[in-house]
Structure 1
Amino acid sequence: MQDTMQETAQDTSYYFADHTGAAEKKVDLIPAVTIPKEAIDAEIERLANLPAPANGRRESMIANPLTGVGEGLAPGIGVSICVLKPGERTKPIRHNAALVNFCIRGGGQANIDGKVIKYGQYDAFNTPSWVIYEHVNDTDELQVRLTYSNSPLLKKMNVYIVEEDPQPEKFKKKSTDEHATAQSPYGTFQISDDGAQLMPYEKLINPDVMKSEPLYFPWKRVKAELAKLASLGQSYRGRRLYLLYNAATGRTNGTTSNFFATFTIRPKNIVDRPHRHTGAAVNYYFAGSGYSVVEGKKYPWKAGDLMLSAPGWAVHNHASLDEDVYELTVQDSPLNVWMGSLLWQESLDQPIELLGASTGFYTNR
């Protein structure tokens, strides 16, 4: 008789990780990283000297090996150097990552979801996710952009979806849904006094739309507003910056759903207070010089340097030297607000707050 107690093969697609009674390990913070102007310039020159690729995209991601899958500079923030020679253009593309674009040399135009944005040096604009876009260099100078993407996070989730050379008319949305007559007759309704509700499938797969538009932030306009913040004087304890705000992000205060981008002026000889937050920050300095202290280590920087200046939850502060500093900061705080994970400590002698779920901090303005 066949043995009914045969040993079954071990399924290695999963395992049980027993955490019974275990304390969570302390976060292993990654260090700050500075990419000097000289290295960026050399990579720009290398890209410009390559033969024109079929898709038109001369692009190099600045990969930090400590961030894992996705070739990010921070775990959830990818930064690419994008180069177009005069007369070149990229082929159309779309993907489910949203972008912040920052032109650091030359100019040109972007065609994003049918909208044309003409931009020059230090102008910024966003590219919403899953829209068709392309870039054109219609100038006589080399065009160089820094592009900030949440693709590293999507790659970690194994859901970064890219459509090369998409055809706008390929998939026309039906004006009527074949399931329209099968709508739930009950809708969304409350089932307890504390506000718990039940929502039917038809609403689950058709959420309310808040469309994110491509928005243009010209540097000249922003610079004029920053000049007013510079006049606040040494006694002001806040940071002199403006968020490039996209109203579609609502209370999360973002430029995209993942990132905020801010333009900052640091008047000469200003030293920030040490602080920390779970959002990671990447700074590009395009005027002036200074230094940052991150987890007790000093990092000097100058105009043209790019820096992972605040790995998530690392204590840090920044200081300008004997001239004013201008910088663009990209930080993944909006994502953390959505997740309910944006811990922030504005000063180390103040309590940690969960921003978006509790009252935040006040400056002395």
Structure 2
Amino acid sequence: MSLTHTRPETRPDTATRMVDVSGDPASTPQPWAPVKIARAEIEAEIERLAAAPRPANGRRGARIVHPSAVAPGLGLSPGIAVTIEVLNPGEETAPLRENAHRVEIGILGRGRIEVADSGVDLAHLDVANLPSMQPFRFRNDSTDVWARLSYSNAPLLEKLGVHYAEDLPLTWRPSPADAPAPTTEDSEKVAYTRATAPDIAIGTQGARLRGYEFLVDIEVVESRALHWPWAEVASHLSTEVGDGKRTIMALYNPATQRRQGATHSFFVTASGMPAGRPPRPRGPGHRHSSVAINYHFAGSGMSTVDGQDITWEAGDLLLSAPGWLEHAHYEGPEGLAVYTVQDHPLHIGMESLVWQEKMDGPVLALGSEAGQTGFVGPREAGE
């Protein structure tokens, strides 16, 4: 075997090296520490952004960066950015499209998101998703400051060196032409299509050999901007002990299919724990490879993460579950309401979602084998 190396004296930055990994032990997760961003910090940053001069593109924002984060890919977790974004009354942002996708949660005021061929009127505590590579802009037509928490997978793309974004003409407005739509193939006009490409069985266990057409013209699954108004979501969550409603529900985007996400990287759950529930006894928690970030907007309580007790109240943002750290949550007597954003769908796509519900129980590969059952009941029983 021969190896060709770039001459180090001409391009030292591209020289490769060999690292001997013979006999290395099995890899173990290296989670970041949990961190809390208190309501007062968030409110102060909103005030600072609102008072600052308007940027040329109108995008007032502050990305929350974890102490362990290093560039490229600054975020609250290794692959997730949470940005406080602010628009003053009458302001709008320059239109943009990017290959990152977003989840937007309204935390102050209200405004409008224009995206592709549609628009979303985002009120306080509403949630919307912004699909990848669909044009969008934000507009505040109200008389109050509008603030959002914007979750993005940009840090992961930045680490990969492939975060693509482009400014669009200021004249852009939503139109049907901006909406992605499945395309039909005309085999009479196009010689090489999925319809005519080879698709050949190899062996007897399901392996196949396919033409390159399948790679460069992938089947389209329509992905649209969706809106989950809090007023409607809340009606499906428990408000009184014994009312028979669920205390946690997922905001589902059908485009994510079996990945169960609001976007292809993130799921979002809304939790409502009513006042008067029996206190959950202190005890072992659970853990998973996906990261969880909680935005608490009602009630108070405590989370125990890797043995550390962290109290929280309404308005606090918490990196509550760094990947593979044991954690448990305990609401106070007045109950709670919380949005949780987690990179669960990304891990399902990578077959890397491992979950351990009981610390002395099995580690399950969710999506690749039979998963966790009996999850809701123990929470409702206060266990």
Q: TM-score under structure 1 normalisation?
A: 0.90
- Matching residue of 1:73: 76
In structure 1, stretches of 5+ residues that fail to align are 1-7
Relative to 1, partners in 2 of residues 1:242 and 1:186: Cα closer, same or farther, differing over 3 Å?
Answer: closer
- In the alignment, does 2:127 pair up with 1:124? yes
Q: Distance in 1 between matches of 2:7 and 2:102?
A: 46
The Cα shift of 1:191 comes to 1.6
- Matching residue of 2:168: 165
The Cα shift of 1:9 comes to 4.6
Q: Distance in 2 between matches of 1:270 and 1:154?
A: 41
Relative to 1, partners in 2 of residues 1:267 and 1:193: Cα closer, same or farther, differing over 3 Å?
Answer: same
Relative to 1, partners in 2 of residues 1:230 and 1:215: Cα closer, same or farther, differing over 3 Å?
Answer: farther
Residue type of the alignment partner of 1:36: A
Relative to 1, partners in 2 of residues 1:323 and 1:345: Cα closer, same or farther, differing over 3 Å?
Answer: same
In structure 2, stretches of 5+ residues that fail to align are 1-5, 378-383
Q: Which of 138, 149, 154 is the aligned partner of 1:151?
A: 154
Residue type of the alignment partner of 1:353: L
Equivalent pair of 2:7/2:15 in contact (CA under 8 Å): no
1:256-306 per-residue CA deviation (whole Å, 9 max, x = no partner) reads: 000001111133454386100000000000111111000001111111110
- Matching residue of 1:61: 63
Relative to 1, partners in 2 of residues 1:148 and 1:186: Cα closer, same or farther, differing over 3 Å?
Answer: closer
Q: Secondary structure at the match of 1:67?
A: coil
- Matching residue of 2:381: none
1:37-74 per-residue CA deviation (whole Å, 9 max, x = no partner) reads: 11111111100001111111111100113133311101
- In the alignment, does 2:227 pair up with 1:225? no
- In the alignment, does 2:245 pair up with 1:245? no
- In the alignment, does 2:297 pair up with 1:286? yes
Q: Which of 242, 246, 267 is the aligned partner of 2:274?
A: 267
The Cα shift of 1:180 comes to 1.9
Q: Which of 347, 368, 371 is the aligned partner of 1:360?
A: 371
- In the alignment, does 2:317 pair up with 1:310? no
- Matching residue of 1:188: 199
Q: Which of 213, 231, 246 is the aligned partner of 1:202?
A: 213
Equivalent pair of 1:252/1:334 in contact (CA under 8 Å): yes
The Cα shift of 1:23 comes to 0.7
- In the alignment, does 2:87 pair up with 1:84? yes
- Matching residue of 2:227: 216
Equivalent pair of 1:229/1:240 in contact (CA under 8 Å): no
The answer to which of 60-69 and 149-158 deviates more is 60-69
The answer to which of 246-255 and 261-270 deviates more is 261-270
- Aligned ranges for residues 25-104 of structure 1 at < 5 Å? 25-68=27-70, 69-104=72-107
The answer to which of 271-280 and 139-148 deviates more is 271-280
Equivalent pair of 2:267/2:345 in contact (CA under 8 Å): yes
Equivalent pair of 1:65/1:71 in contact (CA under 8 Å): no
Q: Distance in 2 between matches of 1:230 and 1:195?
A: 50
The Cα shift of 1:114 comes to 1.7
Q: Distance in 2 between matches of 1:186 and 1:248?
A: 25
The Cα shift of 1:212 comes to 1.2
Residue type of the alignment partner of 2:295: Y
Q: Secondary structure at the match of 1:227?
A: coil
The Cα shift of 1:194 comes to 0.6
The Cα shift of 1:322 comes to 1.8
- Matching residue of 1:4: none
Relative to 1, partners in 2 of residues 1:35 and 1:188: Cα closer, same or farther, differing over 3 Å?
Answer: same
The answer to which of 36-45 and 180-189 deviates more is 180-189
Residue type of the alignment partner of 1:302: E
Q: Secondary structure at the match of 2:362?
A: coil
Equivalent pair of 1:99/1:147 in contact (CA under 8 Å): yes
Q: Secondary structure at the match of 1:44?
A: helix
Relative to 1, partners in 2 of residues 1:197 and 1:175: Cα closer, same or farther, differing over 3 Å?
Answer: closer
Q: Distance in 2 between matches of 1:75 and 1:270?
A: 33
Equivalent pair of 1:291/1:320 in contact (CA under 8 Å): yes
The Cα shift of 1:176 comes to 8.4
1:90-109 per-residue CA deviation (whole Å, 9 max, x = no partner) reads: 11000000100000010011
Q: Distance in 1 between matches of 2:262 and 2:193?
A: 35
Q: Distance in 2 between matches of 1:353 and 1:41?
A: 40
Relative to 1, partners in 2 of residues 1:230 and 1:344: Cα closer, same or farther, differing over 3 Å?
Answer: farther
Relative to 1, partners in 2 of residues 1:141 and 1:230: Cα closer, same or farther, differing over 3 Å?
Answer: farther
Residue type of the alignment partner of 1:180: V
Q: Distance in 2 between matches of 1:148 and 1:270?
A: 31
Q: Distance in 2 between matches of 1:111 and 1:334?
A: 25
Equivalent pair of 1:270/1:320 in contact (CA under 8 Å): yes
- Aligned residue pairs, count: 354
- Aligned ranges for residues 311-326 of structure 1 at < 5 Å? 311-326=322-337
Q: Secondary structure at the match of 2:333?
A: coil
- Matching residue of 2:139: 136
Q: Distance in 2 between matches of 1:278 and 1:222?
A: 27
The Cα shift of 1:182 comes to 4.1
Q: TM-score under structure 2 normalisation?
A: 0.86
Q: Distance in 2 between matches of 1:72 and 1:91?
A: 23
Equivalent pair of 2:39/2:316 in contact (CA under 8 Å): yes
Q: Distance in 1 between matches of 2:350 and 2:270?
A: 25
Residue type of the alignment partner of 1:245: Y
The Cα shift of 1:240 comes to 2.1
